[in-house]
Every structure is written in structure tokens, then in C-alpha cells.
Amino acid sequence: MAGLPPKPVNLAFIEPDSADADVIHAAQRGDLEAFNALVTRYQDRVYTLAYRLIGDPAAAADAAQEAFIHAYRFLSSYHGGSFKAWLLRIATNTCYDAMRYQKRRPATGLDDLPGAESDDGAPLPSDTPTPEEAVQQAELNNAIQACIDSLQVDYRLTLVMADVEDFSYQAIADSTGVQLGTVKSRLSRARLAMRRCLQSVQELLPSAYRLNNQDEYRSE
């Protein structure tokens, strides 16, 4: 019947994949509860992406909040496909804008980065780790983040989109407005820089994560 408000979606039991479409459609109709459900579902992923790109917890939280504001404003432009990819592309562009307008920071020291016990978005293993494993994982995360922070902004952006969020080359090119060849070149140089950076601080890494000359900084 015309004039009635849209019927809210029952959000009590939402499966992560199958119910996304219904929740998104409800949010597009103006159901704030539905949009808040999407925020709850994806806020950790968006924050982690922002933290990996920006390297500062407070700035990452601000960028994540701004990304969701942009997503809400432009929700009508979503017409299907992977909502997660659509949202992370908005988050990436938001972080990119933030980084473009901030002065280039000196490389962050390992001691300046937050540890695993802080809510910094750095992922830990899904299974409950032992205290020793938690310390080792925190040291590895800190070393990786310090090396990511040392990259030029364009290289950092490309690396995080490709190796953290699994964007395709084409998706990265579309999001950043560069050619495919440029994406591949930046990613290659970023990975080489990461490898050299991690090799230079191997003595600070847990022995299980130290690289030899053939190892990459991440598992292929």
C-alpha cells in the first residue's frame, strides 16, 4: 500500500553471505537498522584495511567511519556484485584521500607500533594462541606494519589492496585510476621493498618467520 514505510528486515539471524542482498536492499530503502547491521558485519574488515594503509589507529578509525558515511550516501549506486568489494573500494579511496593530504611521515619504528593487546586491527590467528604464539604473532604483525608504513603511498595502497584484501589487478586499476601495467609494476616494487625491509629486521622477528633468500614476506 502506498505511503507505508518499508518493512524492516528481520536481522536476528543473518547469514554472512546469503542474507546480504536482502539487508542491502532494505538499507537502500532507508532502513537504518539494516545499514547498521552492514556496519556491524564489515566494520572490522574496513578498520583493518584502513589501519594497514594509514598505520595509525586513531586515523584509521576516523577513515573507517568516513568510509561508512560515504557508503551510506552512495548506497543507491550499488547495483549488485560483491558488496564487500564495493565497500572496501570506498574505504580504500577514503584512505587514499587521507594519505594524499597528510605530510609524508618518517618510517615508523617497531617500538612505536601498537601491540596485539591493543585494538589496532592487526589480525591474530583465529584459534586461541598460546601466550608465546601471541607474542610472536604480535611481533610479526608489528614488523610487517612498520615495513608497510615505510612504503611510498602509491606502493602501499597497491600492496594492501592486492595482498591484504585480494583485489584483482583490474579492480586496483579501476580504484586508483592507473593502467594495469602500472599496478603490476607498483606491486612488484612494493613486494621487493617489503622483502628487503623484513630481511633487514630479521633479528627482531620470531625465528619461525625469518626469511631466507628464496622466501617471500608472505605465503604464496
Neighbours of 198 (CB within 10 A): 23
Using alpha carbons, select from 48, 65, 63 the residue that is nearest to residue 141.
48
pLDDT in tens, 119-173: 455 554 455 768 777 777 777 778 888 889 899 989 998 999 898 888 899 988 8
Percentage of residues of the chain with pLDDT beyond 70: 70
Average pLDDT, the chain: 76
DSSP state at residue 31: -
Give a three-class secondary structure readout of 130-199: CHHHHHHHHHHHHHHHHHHHHCCHHHHHHHHHHHHCCCCHHHHHHHHCCCHHHHHHHHHHHHHHHHHHHH
* Threshold 0.75, pTM exceeds: no
Confidence (pLDDT) at 127: 59
User: 143 or 194: which carries more pLDDT confidence?
Assistant: 194
> What CATH number is attached to the domain comprising 219?
1.10.10.10
Q: Would 74 be classed as within a structural domain? A: yes
For residue 6, how many C-alpha atoms fall within 13 Å in the half-sphere facing its CB? 16
Least confident of 67-71, 117-121, 170-174, 206-210: 117-121
Does residue 105 register a pLDDT over 50? no
List, in sequence order, the alpha helices (H) in 55-100.
Answer: 57-73, 83-100
Please check whether residues 147 and 213 belong to one and the same domain. Answer: yes
Q: Would 147 be classed as within a structural domain? A: yes
Domain housing 202: 129-220
Confidence (pLDDT) at 184: 96
* Gap between the Cα atoms of 116 and 73, Å rounded: 34
Work out how many domains the chain is built from and give that number. Answer: 2
Q: Would 212 be classed as within a structural domain? A: yes
Please check whether residues 133 and 215 belong to one and the same domain. Answer: yes
Confidence (pLDDT) at 144: 84
Please check whether residues 76 and 139 belong to one and the same domain. Answer: no
Confidence (pLDDT) at 214: 46
